[in-house]
Structure 1
Amino acid sequence: MKWIAESYAKINLGLHVLERLPTGYHRIETGFAFINWSDRFEVEKASRWQLDIDTDDETITTGEDNLINRAIDQLKRYVDIKNAYHIKVDKRIPAGAGLGGGSSNAALTLRMLNKIEELGLSDEELIDLSRDLGADVPLFIKGQTGIGSGVGHEIKPLDIQPNFWIITCFPNVKSSTPEAYSHCHPNPEPDFDLEKTLTEADPEEWQYTLFNDLEQSVVPRHHVVGNMKDQFYEFGALYASMSGSGSAVYGLFEQDFVATNAYHGLVELEFPTNITKPGFKPDHGIYRKE
């Protein structure tokens, strides 16, 4: 018997870096939305723990540092897991892209083992034990869009999923999260209120009011990110931005044929690219396959 589920990616709708904390982390504010770019999980009972990842990215390993293994170890410290499992992952979300692929994988690992082992842990308990795994993990455990604050793990649920076509593109370069934050300049008083912009402002104004503060540190080191953002506007995007700490860039499009044209144009340039329909909602289900 197998259990299958999809581990979805996210994009950041604006990202304000407000303060550098003594811990080395940063106090931020950001909007979270989902895209239809996912890794596929298959889990079945086995005689020993085994993790297989189908990927062309040689930097993604199945060692102790992999967030899936770290999630399993965290769960084992919290509860008794009776069985061992073989976890197979078809890895499609690019790493080093700012799309939260690793955090999404960790969250789904916790959710799947909680269901399969019938542990009965609530989302809040899963979030509590996952705090050392990554700031984005609570987002993927809940599976709800919202505004992230603190170091990103405090999420206020809010329906901010864009009702536009979303084209997301990975420019084939990886961006280091620690480097992105270390070179940015925190601003405790942003010019525009993030929540008000996302809920009240016309999206046509977003390119003037909605900013990712990490672009200032990533674009000078990876010019392709800035070039790709410009390319999105040339393709007719209503709004374009880098996601998270990069390097992926996304654009919002009103018309399907304009979005489709942008998608095919980027694919022809041999960039991994995703297209997501307006109002997308990720499938949060975990399904049993006989």
Structure 2
Amino acid sequence: MWIANSYGKINLGLHVLEKLPTGFHRIETGLCFIEWSDRFEVQPSEAYTLNLSEKSIPTDDSNLITKAYKLFDRYIGLNRHYSFNVIKNIPAGAGLGGGSSNAALTLRILNKLEEAGLSKDELIDLGRTLGSDVPFFIKGKPGIATGLGHDIEPADIQPDAWIVTAYPNFESSTAEVYQNCVPNPDHDFSIKGVLLEEEIDQWQFLLENDLEAPVFTKHELVGNIKDQMLEFGASFAMMSGSGSTVYGVFEQDFVAINAYESFYKLGFPANLTRPNFEPDNGIYRKD
């Protein structure tokens, strides 16, 4: 059996710059990791099987793990098949990239177990059709995403601070949120400039997520959680991606722990990420 962790992400700001004729959007966003993760257990099998601890999530061809598995088999080929047992912790439809992270790890696991020898760039080329965040998770480093979100420029933007992430117990539709967003090509500040040049205590005044407005209009609770993060003492708070999860960046550990515990007691699934967190991207053999 082989084991590995599939980590979530948050967006440090998100600018929707332009809607393209294809219906997709040109964006700019900062991407970094949180400690919220799913656990993969993979072993050889007579046929592909996928078992998820969260039974409400389908395991058919709509699942990104299944899509990634079949994509690898179609274009690279498999010498044998594998069963996947995945303990799901990252909420679905939460703006944390759980599905894309799962797809990226599936490709990396198959590349290792099949000894296919694909480079990260080759895996990215293979997986970019699976989701805009898949290249980020294959790279495994924080960075600035531009274009459709596929183009990742590595950048040292993992916060040197605690991150508290809270999920409001409902999903947000990415397609619907983008449909109700008004693109803005002329922001006052670039996300890259703010993240690389400004201190965390300035982010609240300079960073924006253009997708917050349509989500807050429909789901007042999401905006309330953001306000609560700030009231708990966050230096910066924002919705991640297209929602529905909200995170706060805290510079003092006891303040962050209090916020995390408070959200947990209120019934919101929550996560606490350490300063300068680096995900463990290893794939380990379990004897």
* The two structures share one fold, judged by TM-score above 0.5: yes
Measure how far apart 1:55 and its partner are.
1.3
Which residue of 1 is the match for residue 29 of structure 2? 30
Per-residue deviation, residues 243-268 of structure 1 (Å, max 9, x unmatched) = 00000000000111100100110000
Runs of 4+ in structure 1 deviating by more than 4 angstroms, as ranges, are none
Measure how far apart 1:177 and its partner are.
0.2
Which residue of 2 is the match for residue 44 of structure 1? 43
Between the aligned residues of both structures, percent identity stands at: 59
* Whole-angstrom distance in 2 between the partners of 1:271 and 1:46: 37
Aligned partner of residue 267 in structure 1, secondary structure: helix
Per-residue deviation, residues 170-190 of structure 1 (Å, max 9, x unmatched) = 011110000110000100111
**TM-score normalised by structure 1 residue count:** 0.98
Per-residue deviation, residues 9-29 of structure 1 (Å, max 9, x unmatched) = 000000000000111110000
* Whole-angstrom distance in 2 between the partners of 1:155 and 1:271: 31
Aligned partner of residue 130 in structure 1, secondary structure: helix
* Whole-angstrom distance in 2 between the partners of 1:134 and 1:44: 25
Which residue of 2 is the match for residue 18 of structure 1? 17
Aligned partner of residue 160 in structure 2, secondary structure: coil
* Whole-angstrom distance in 2 between the partners of 1:83 and 1:54: 24
Which residue of 2 is the match for residue 225 of structure 1? 222
Which residue of 2 is the match for residue 209 of structure 1? 206
Which residue of 1 is the match for residue 75 of structure 2? 78
Q: Which runs of 5+ in 1 are unaligned?
A: none
Q: Which runs of 5+ in 2 are unaligned?
A: none
Q: 1:88-127 alignment to 2 at 5 Å?
A: 88-127=85-124
Q: 1:1-290 alignment to 2 at 5 Å?
A: 2-55=1-54, 58=56, 60-290=57-287
* Whole-angstrom distance in 2 between the partners of 1:146 and 1:139: 8
**1:170 maps to amino acid:** Y
* Whole-angstrom distance in 2 between the partners of 1:90 and 1:161: 26
**2:18 maps to amino acid:** E
Aligned partner of residue 102 in structure 2, secondary structure: helix
Measure how far apart 1:202 and its partner are.
1.8
Aligned partner of residue 23 in structure 1, secondary structure: coil
**1:49 maps to amino acid:** Y
Per-residue deviation, residues 37-56 of structure 1 (Å, max 9, x unmatched) = 00000000011110000015
Aligned partner of residue 132 in structure 1, secondary structure: helix
